[in-house]
Amino acid sequence: MTTPVKAVRGTRDLLPPETALWSRIEATAREVFARYNFGEIRTPIFEETTLFARGVGEETDIVSKEMYTWEDRARAQSEKTQSLTLRPENTAGVVRAYIEHKLSETGQLQKLFYIGPQFRRERPQKGRYRQFFQIGAEVIGPPHAGSESPLRDAEVLEMLASLLEELGIEGWTLRLNSVGSASDRPAYLAKLREAIAPVAHRMCADCQRRAETNPLRVLDCKVAEDQEIIESLPRIADSLDEASRAHFAAVCAALEAARVPYTLDHRLVRGLDYYTRTTFEFTHGGLGAQNALLGGGRYDGLSEAIGGPKAPGIGFAIGQDRLVLTLQAQEQEEAERADAWVAPVGEAQNPASLALARELRRAGLRVELGDGGFRVRKSMEVADRQARRIILLGEDELASGVLTVKDFSTAVQTKIPRAELAAHLLAARAEAKQKKEKQRA
Ligand code: HAM
């Protein structure tokens, strides 16, 4: 018998019913992008290798280690043999298309989104594949169209916060940094080289090489033994010139006005060389080691680096595989939640609470029982992780027969007569199930 052929390492088949979730994410992204007036762009899956070497940077891990590159042989005399590469990311391709189709001549900002596969020869693990999918967007245009404005950065970030909210992703963190501009970067790099030189011999082999070729990449190093040294190196924020500093402050102020929460991360340099000024990532704790749900930033010099006109831009790419993982984990967690957590207020209420839990369980509800030895605040904290709502049973409730129920999803507290409680909870469960099914459809 011949051995069956399998999918290549790091690639996967997506099958129903999971594909329905992939489609739902794409539909929601399209809806949100349309509201912000983005149009779709589709660029080829492969490009000339030079595009990524010049655009993303020869010294990056992506270009130096991870690309699928081959010599494409000429088929006719009119053709030439050339080096081609499966796209490892799509920003360089979008900017190439912007230049090739002379979109700068429209004089307007181009707001473009894309959804599609990317390819990197990385070590596969949870959330990291060799063929993976990105949902990305780019805002690019001539400076006179406002492409350099910090408001563009903040608007893109605000759009991302809205998209994640609409997808139902909970618990993300926006990490933000500025890596400076073409004018303030050289001074910082010189400082960094100088600081690394005397300690480089104590760092990993990659850092020793990067210290010479591209010192900014040292800040990206994940090797545990190098972390103490890296923390002691000069920070980019202290080397920004007045213009870069003002740009970053304006981005932060606009985010605050729009109530988009963020944290500063002075080591967020990202793994691609085209970034200038704003860089960001949205991370999620549930993802494990590969915790970046998405990443992006500003790239004011990319167009010129690949032979185009001055066309500053900002954009991002979401890892769709990681979005799916996060939503699936959330759904699983949600499914495992109890309908209610019965919390006795004081140990004297323990017996009565057991009786109440029994009543609800016999009605078919999934119920957790706390302990009157816990303070109410502690009960709330624990219950919030394991149940949809908490029912407080104190002396007053027992005497009046009216119970206080706090719903964790809305933070609303209601008073419900004990005789109606089981029916109320069953109805709430049916309603939630219906809502979920409608969402899926
Ligand atoms: P990136 O950080 O290389 O940026 O990738 C963006 C996102 O793609 C990551 O945060 C992650 O969620 C996902 N991703 C990357 N590699 C893998 C992988 N091997 N497996 C699964 N998911 C992965 C870029 O690609 C830039 N082009 C983003 C950008 C757009 N910057 C400006 N405009």
Ligand 1 centroid–CA 146 distance in Å is: 26
Per-residue 3-state assignment (H helix, E strand, C coil) for the chain: CCCCCCCCCCCCCCCCCHHHHHHHHHHHHHHHHHHCCCEECCCCCEEEHHHHHHHHHCCCHHHHHCCCEEEECCCCCCCCCEEEEECCCCHHHHHHHHHHCCHHHHCCCEEEEEEEEEECCCCCECCECCEEEEEEEEEECCHHHCCCCHHHHHHHHHHHHHHHHHHCCCCEEEEEEECCCCCCHHHHHHHHHHHHCCCHHHCCHHHHHHHHHCHHHHHHCCCHHHHHHHHCCCCHHHHCCHHHHHHHHHHHHHHHHCCCCCEECCCCCCCCCCCEEEEEEEEEHHHCCCCEEEEEEECCCHHHHCCCCCCCEEEEEEEHHHHHHHHHHHHHHHHHCECEEEEECCHHHHHHHHHHHHHHHHCCCCEEECCCCCCHHHHHHHHHHHECEEEEECHHHHHHCEEEEEECCCCCEEEEEHHHHHHHHHHHHHHHHHHHHHHHC
Q: For the structural domain made of 338-440, what CATH number should be given?
A: 3.40.50.800
Average pLDDT over residues 129-146: 98
Average pLDDT over residues 194-208: 91
* Cβ pair 135, 25 in contact under 8 A: yes
- The residues facing 294 across adjacent strands are 282, 318
Question: Domain ranges in the chain?
Answer: 18-184+240-331, 338-440
- pLDDT of 439 strictly over 80: no
Average pLDDT over residues 113-133: 97
The tokens describing 381, both together, are: 């904290």
Ligand 1 centroid–CA 232 distance in Å is: 28
Ligand 1 pocket, Cβ-based, cut-off 6 angstroms:
89-91, 120, 122, 127-129, 132, 134, 136, 138, 271-272, 292-297, 315-317, 319, 321-322
Please name the residue whose Cα sits nearest to atom 22 of ligand 1.
Answer: 319
Ligand 1 centroid–CA 412 distance in Å is: 38
Q: How far is it, in rounded angstroms, from Cα 383 to Cα 381?
A: 6
Q: Give the whole-number percent of the chain exceeding pLDDT 70.
A: 99
Q: What is the mean pLDDT of the chain?
A: 94
pTM of the predicted model as reported, rounded to 2 decimal places:
0.87
What single letter denotes the amino acid at residue 228?
Answer: E
* Cβ pair 300, 181 in contact under 8 A: yes
Q: Which range has the worst mean pLDDT, 142-151, 229-238, 274-283, 302-311?
A: 229-238
* CATH match for 18-184+240-331 among 1.10.287.3510, 3.30.930.10, 3.40.50.970, 3.50.50.60: 3.30.930.10
Q: Which atom of ligand 1 lies at the shortest distance from residue 316's CA?
A: 30
| Tokens 């740009």 belong to residue | 247
Name the residue among 61, 40, 9, 176 with its Cα closest to residue 114.
40
Pocket test for ligand 1, best of 51, 118, 174 (most atoms within 8 A of CB): 118
| Tokens 């605000």 belong to residue | 158
Question: Cα 415 to the chain's mean position, in Å?
Answer: 39
The tokens describing 307, both together, are: 């032979």
pLDDT for res 441 = 63
The β-bridge relationship of strands 340-344 and 367-369 is parallel
pLDDT for res 440 = 64
Please name the residue whose Cα sits nearest to atom 15 of ligand 1.
Answer: 319
Q: Which atom of ligand 1 lies at the shortest distance from residue 120's CA?
A: 19
Q: Which range has the worst mean pLDDT, 55-64, 111-120, 227-236, 431-440?
A: 431-440
Tens of pLDDT, residue by residue over 337-381, are 999 999 999 999 999 999 999 999 999 999 999 999 999 999 999
Average pLDDT over residues 305-334: 95
Backbone angles phi, psi at 242, to 5 degrees: -55, -45
Average pLDDT over residues 187-215: 90
Binning pLDDT at 50, 70 and 90, where does residue 268 land? very high
- pLDDT of 261 strictly over 90: yes
Question: Cα 359 to the chain's mean position, in Å?
Answer: 43
The β-bridge relationship of strands 46-48 and 82-86 is antiparallel
Please name the residue whose Cα sits nearest to atom 33 of ligand 1.
Answer: 315
Tens of pLDDT, residue by residue over 371-413, are 999 999 999 999 998 999 999 999 999 999 999 999 998 889 9
Average pLDDT over residues 130-158: 98
